[in-house]
Structure formats: C-alpha cells, structure tokens
Amino acid sequence: MLITEILARNARMYRDDIALIEREPEKNRRTTLTWKAFDDQANQVAQALIQNGIRKGDRVVHLLMNCIEWLPIYFGILRTGAWAVPLNFRFVAKTIGNCVKTAGAKCVIFGEEFIERIDTIRPELGNSVENYIFVGPEKLRPIYATAYAQLMGEAPTADPKVPLNLEDDAALYFTSGTTGMPKAVLISHRNLESACYIENRHHHQSRTDNFLLIPPLYHTGAKMHWFGNLIVGAKAVILKGIEPRWIMEAISEEGVTVVWLLVPWALDILFAIESGDLRLDNFRLDQWRLMHIGAQPVPPSLVREWRKTFPHHQYDTNYGLTETTGPGCVHLGIDNNHKVGAIGRPGFDWEYKILDDQHDPVAKGRPGELAVKGPGVMRAYYRNPKETARTLVDGWLLTGDIAREDEDGFIWLVDRKKDVIITGGENIYPVEIEEFLQSHPKVQDVAVIGLPSLRLGEIATAIVKPKTNQTLSKEELVSHCEALPRYKRPRKFIFGDVPRNPTGKIEKPKLRKLYGGKAESFQI
C-alpha cells in the first residue's frame, strides 16, 4: 500500500485521534495534529502544488527544520506524483544549489532558517526553479516566495487523486556527504512501503505505542523508523531539541514507548544521570519499552551501561543506509543482547553476502565488504550511472562497509572501506579502536583517522574528547591501549571535539583536513 494511502486510511479509521505532537521546550510550546488534520493538510499541499504547475515526475525540494508541518508537506508532495527531495539542513548554500540542480527541481519549499542560503543560490538557479514557497512568519517572507500559509488557506482538502502505483519513483534522498559530495539516491513508492513493514516487523509497534522523533526528518533513518507507527495508526512526538532533560520530559509527559537515539544523545543521557543533572525518579518511565540505535557503530560499553541504568528496556541496534531506504537491512534483534556489538542478522525480507575485492564471498570470520539485497534497495544514484554501476551489482548493493560474520551467523561491522588505515602494510579498522577507547571511563567521544607517515604510509591517530569535568592525560590513554595488539595502538593522540553530522556519523574528512599537518608533537 502506498504510504499516502496508509495516511488516508488512518484518517478514516482514527479521525480525531492524535497523530503528531510537536514539543518545543525552549518556547514552552506544544502543538498537536489529528490524523484527519494531517491528511487534510497533505491534500492541501498537493492541491496547492498542482495549482502552481507541479506534475507527476517533477521534483520538489523540501528544506525545513523538524516541525509539525514537515510530514504533511512531505506526504503532500508525494500525492502530486512529484518526487520529494528532502535536504540536509546543515548543507551550505553551494551544496544546496548543487542538489537543486542535480534534482532538476521546479519548486523549493523552505523555512526561515534558510533564507540567506536560498538568497545566495537563486541567481545561479535562474528560471529553472519556478516556485519558492516560504514556511514561516509573513514578516520574514522573501519577496520572491509565496507564503505557505496563504496557499494552505486557499487550497481545498480533497485528495487530488493523482494516479500512483508502487513502482513509481517517489523521492530523492541525498547521502550525508561524509566521504565526498552528496549523491542523489532515487527510491520508489515500493521502497517506502517496505520500510513500514520491515520496521513494524522488527519492533512490533501497535496502536498503543508512541514514537519519539528526534533525529532530522530529512534523513531516511528517523522517518522510516516512524513508519512502523504510521502503518498501525500510532502517534509520534516531534521533539525540537536534544537536551537530555527535554528528552526525558517528553518521554514522561507524553507516555512515549519507543525511542530511537543516536550514540551522542544516549551518551549525554547517561552522563547527565551519572552527574546527577538527571534524576530518573522525577520522570514517569515505566511505559518506555524500547530504545534502539542506528546510523553509526555503537560502542558495546554504551549498551552495557544503558542496560544497567534501564534494565527493563528492550534494546536493538539497527543498520541501514540511505541506499537501502533507511533502517532494517540488518538488525541485532531485541532478543539478542548476548551479541551486543554486532549489527546483527539480515532484517525481514533481506539477505547479505560478505565479499572480497573481486566480489567473491570470503571465508566465515574474514573481513570483507558487506553486500545486501532486499525490498529497500534504491533504484539508482540519480544522474550518476558510473556510481550506480559501481554500487549495484547483479541486484546486490555494495555498502562500502567492511564486516565479518561470526560462527553464529551474526554480522559485525568492522569499518567503512574508505576509512581503513593501512600502516606498515597492516590494515587497521578505526571502529575497533574507537570502541576500545570509548570504554575508558573518562572518554566521552573519540574518532580515529589515518594521517600520512613517510615511514609507514599512514598512522592511526585518535581524537579524544574527555568527559566534562574530567582530567585525562595522554599517558592514561597510552596505558589503556596497551591491551590492544601493538599494530592497532594509535600512534598519536589529540584532545579535541569530535564533529558529527546530524545523524551522528563522525565527519572524518573534516578531521583529516584539520589535523593532517598539525599533530606531529602528539606522536608517541
């Protein structure tokens, strides 16, 4: 079933039930939307876009911070038969311009946070973008943009009934760009449908569940995890902010049952509890049944500490990519806590292989590139046949991640293929070292990168962020790393921040650029 049809069904069956709750703690603001209002607004967006010339197959850029308008706009774009093109809100003006041009977008819907960036790129886009729609206060509306509120006030709430089927193209999602310029991932309505079934199959959402939406909605992970609630008509909370106290208040006051966190947020919650900034007995948490994490490697030490703090929680690790329509191609499973550290087994309706550089299967236990096949695999990298041919091979998606399979059939992520450090002829996988250093009680965050070495080619360098109010020395880290094989021990340590993108992934190109020639004095 099309996800737009799932929304319409929910509006018929659960008309006056709450679908979405927006919480904005900084402004002490709470807004709700029923399933009927959600569906009506999606229809109004679709009608307004069609009245402004958008037709099936056109592309509409969607550039908003998380807000209660985000999802109705997304579903409205889909109902026109156009492709939704959600963009990362951290993209600079140049990257936004490149994405708009790659997509060939006819319309850009944007919020007040992006006025300056849109102003910057408009001249180079010329007449290729026919409409700009502004979501925000009228006093801030640029003269070239139409007010979203005005369009909504004039548009009917009837379904435009554009003929759609599951094989139609639905959206372009741009990759995070952590290893280069973002690529445009083309996904279909069937891909979106599959995410609903896979997520619900994995985490068993029912009508009584309430999902906390914190990650950016432009990212497939956040939205596609929520799809498990959408398919059963269960509500969700959109939280604008990531402060640990705000997260716990939302869970307590809204009766949240399912939370998907990124590693930094989970760590922040644990640190706040450890420091006394958060007292769990101040919150109602008995209904909270599941915490799951994805988008990046998860330190086993984090999960062990979480389960000590929240012993009644179900826990799951989720592995997915933009190219697999988000979460679930591999997942640990809520019954497999004895395998914490692994990313798990193939998700519902997925299969996998681990391959060498010639695309032949490796022996069990040996590292190789993880390849997956299933209903969420993208159509292509849009307008990029070379990368498509390199990534899609005989129906298999080459993930670019190095993994190994253990004796029980569980998959362990070793590292990104592009992040492997070759030092003195030995392959070093940074994730292994990051997980080890993360187990140090004074370490808050860590990233390991390879920096050039005349003698060894590359050397492993650890950028370490100590916990607040903790004193951590290089000597302590050196001593801690003596438990590692000698060739895996970092040769340099740098104390500093670990930059992460909105989905929690370490931005290693930034670190390589920052420290490429500046760390010699830290070498051990």
User: 140: burial class by Cβ within 10 Å (0-12, 13-18, 19+)?
Assistant: exposed
Element at 84 (helix H, strand E):
strand 83-86
User: pLDDT of 152-192, one tens digit each?
Assistant: 999 999 999 999 999 999 999 998 654 457 899 999 999 99
Amino acid at residue number 42: A
Q: Which residues lie closer than 8 Å to 475 by C-beta, 6 or more apart?
A: none
Please state, in angstroms and rounded to a whole number, the distance separating the CA atoms of residues 220 and 310.
27
Q: Which residues of 493-524 are buried (b: 16+ CB within 10 A; e: fewer)?
A: bbeeebbbbbbbbbbbebbeebbeeebeebee
Give the C-alpha separation, 348 to 331, whole Å: 9
Q: All domains of the chain, ordered by start, with CATH?
A: 35-188 (3.40.50.12780), 420-522 (3.30.300.30)
Q: Which residues pair with 110 in a beta bridge?
A: 63, 134
What lies within 8 Å, CB to CB, of 271 at 6+ separation is 244, 444, 467, 468
Q: How many residues does the chain have?
A: 524
Catalogue the E-assigned strands of 309-383. 314-321, 326-331, 345-346, 351-355, 368-373, 380-381
Helix (H, G, I), strand (E, B) or coil at 423: strand
Q: Beta strand pairing status for 314-321 and 326-331?
A: antiparallel
The model's pTM: 0.84
- Which contacts of 308-317 are long-range, i.e. CB under 8 A and separated by 24 or more positions? 309/270, 309/273, 309/280, 310/285, 313/288, 313/289, 314/289, 314/290, 315/290, 315/291, 315/340, 316/202, 316/203, 316/290, 316/292, 317/292, 317/293, 317/342, 317/343, 317/344
Residue 520 has a pLDDT of 39
Residue 111: the pLDDT is 98
Element (H, E) at 445: strand 443-453
What's 245's DSSP letter? H
What dihedral do alpha carbons 183, 188, 190, 191 form, nearest 10°? 10
Cα-based angle 28, 33, 38 (whole degrees, multiple of 5): 145
DSSP designation for 471: -
Instruction: Report the pLDDT value the prediction gives residue 178, as an integer from 0 to 100.
Output: 46
* Nearest residue to 184 (alpha-carbon basis) of 397, 381, 398, 392: 381
Element (H, E) at 40: helix 35-51
Q: What is the pLDDT of residue 438?
A: 86
Cβ proximity of 233 and 14 under 8 Å: yes
**Which of the residues in the chain have pLDDT under 50?**
178-179, 518-524
Note the pLDDT of residue 269. Answer: 94
Sheet holding 131-135, edge to edge: 146-147, 131-135, 107-111, 59-63, 83-86, 169-174, 184-188, 380-381
